[in-house]
A and B are shown apart, each in its own frame.
Chain A
Amino acid sequence: MDSPPPIRFELRRGAVTAIPLAIAVGLFGVSFGVLSVSTVGIGALPAIVMSAATFAGSAQFAVASVVAGGGQPIAAIAAALLLNARYLPIGVSVARFMPGGRLGRFIQAQLVVDESWAIAAEGDGRFDAHRLIGAGIVLWLAWVVGTVVGVAGGEALGDPAALGLDAAFPALFLALLVQQLASRRAVVVAALGATIAIALVPFAPPGVPIIAAAGAALIGLVKR
């Protein structure tokens, strides 16, 4: 009979599996750092602290985009937290497999991002918590180090509009959106969300059209 693999083996396996993804995540962090200091008024240190504490790319870029568009802080916060709401069911899916007390599980939960979650999945609804920790630490380091590098590089750049950096946002969100369009219903909701946002732009303060677009998700209440 096989004995269960030791903890250190799974930690290392998670970390090694995450390395190719960590390169992409690190470069993604670089772009967050660049945009935070060049197009947006977030600033160097807040950008780095945000990457360390929030560790969720799309939400952080949403903050940067809303702030760059002149939105109020509350609009940026609401947009980011609504985007991160998807970590609620993701957290529930791994909860049963996390060892330790409340504090230990709280810390483990922070290491859950889409990539570490995928690496930890056994494919049958079960998850390996130690693989998740190993992968999560590598990805977190890549994200934070990438942000630091981007902040340093971004401060050396010139006029963001001339460089086309403002066009980086829609390109980025489109790439993230495409990954979310798994069902026909998601496509309908995305079209409705974009329509709501565009319709409100002339009337609502910047940032508010994005939050209002979240209402499109209520289509999920309709029985299929």
Chain B
Amino acid sequence: MSDAWVIVLAVGIGTMVIKAAGPVLLGGRPLPERVQHVVALLAPALLAALVATAALSTGNQLVLDARMIGLGAAALAILLRAPILAVVIIGALSAGVARLVGVG
């Protein structure tokens, strides 16, 4: 089986189990408070790490290139309350244009 299918199966089954755990196994019983607090912070921790690595890393190297220009443009679009798809397109286009003119 290719890596892609291994990932698709594992993420698919794992997510189904996570989503169903409350409704099927726990009923309405709440999670312990400490677990709730940690779980609530996983998404900001991981998304921030994804921003940082997707913008700054190439393999094991930290590089500053056109992706940072894209990220800056995206941040501006977010401040201006652009919808998420517009943010993504603005980020990609800015980086693409920066490369075309030879920056980064």
Contact = CB atoms under 8 A, between A and B. Distances in A.
Interface in B1-40: 2-8, 10-16, 18-24, 26-31, 34, 36-40
Contacts of B28: 92, 95-96
A49 B66 CA distance: 32
Interface residues of A, number: 102
A175 interface: yes
Chain A interface helix/strand/loop/mixed = helix
Given A162-B96, A171-B87, A58 B43 contact: yes
Given A109-B19, A192-B45, A162 B99 contact: yes
A175 B87 contact: yes
Contacts of B20: 91, 105-106, 109-110
Nearest to B96: A164
Contacts, number: 330
A85 B42 contact: yes
Interface stretch (A1-9, A10-18, A178-186): A178-186
B83 interface: yes
Interface size class of B (residues with CB under 8 A): 35 or more
Contacts of A168: 70, 88-89, 91-92
Contacts of B34: 220-221
A147 interface: no
A70 B3 CA distance: 12
Interface of A: 24, 27-28, 31, 41-43, 46, 49-50, 53-56, 58-63, 65, 67, 69-70, 73, 76-77, 79-96, 98, 102, 105-106, 108-110, 112, 161-178, 180-181, 185-187, 189-194, 196-198, 201-204, 206, 209-210, 212-221
A89 B36 contact: yes
A42 B4 contact: yes
